[in-house]
Each structure stands twice: as structure tokens, then as C-alpha cells.
Amino acid sequence: MGQPYTYSVWQVKPGLEDEFVRRWTEFADWTALQGLAASAKLLRDLEDPSRFVSFGPWESLDTIRRWRHQPGFHERVVRLHEVLASFEPRTLELIVDR
């Protein structure tokens, strides 16, 4: 299996984009301590400024599973949900890196 990544699409409630970025950054800082293999990235859609995409590489699928079950994970996700209209998380596998 290739390197695993987490990937999420975040649709933020209008007007709460700055607050979302603040909360996401806090979540990413905490996540970095949980086995993320490199820094997480947050991208903003230029055509829909309330839509964001984040992704980051992980050491293993087991590390991702442990992260999602860590004390503190769900409380941080709940804080993010307060400013979201929708949230679509995925776990992906790196196939080609050129």
C-alpha cells in the first residue's frame, strides 16, 4: 500500500471563514503531534471562498485510526462543525508521486 493521506472538503457557513481557519489551524497543530508525517495543508477554493480542502500524509493507516480515537479528536471536530455547513472526510492512498 502507498502512503496514506487524510483529505477533507469543508463547506463553511458564510461569514465564518476566518473563524474556521483559526479552528482548523488549532486542529492541525494538535494533529501534527499525533503522527502526521508532514505538515497538513489547507486550500481555499477561489471560486467559492467558503469551500476549503485539507490534506496531509500519515505514517500508516494505524496511525490515522489511533488519531481518530484519541481523546480530544471528537471535541475538536465538534468545534469545527459549529462553523460548517458540511464536511466530507476521506482516507486516501498515494498511488503516484512525480
Instruction: Kindly state whether residue 61 falls inside one of the protein's structural domains.
Output: yes
pTM confidence score: 0.92
Kindly state the cell numbers that stand for 26: 488549532
Amino acid 12: pLDDT: 98
Share the mean pLDDT of the chain: 95
Owning domain of residue 65: 4-93
Q: Which CATH number belongs to the domain containing residue 58 in this structure? A: 3.30.70.100
- Average pLDDT, stretch 77-86? 97
Into how many domains does the chain fold?
1
Q: Tell me whether residue 98 is in a domain.
A: no
Q: How many residues would you count in the chain? A: 98
36 within some domain:
yes
**Set of cell numbers at residue 39:** 505538515
Give the confidence band of 93 by pLDDT, cuts at 50, 70, 90.
very high
Q: pLDDT tens digits for 6-39?
A: 999 999 999 999 999 999 999 999 999 888 889 9
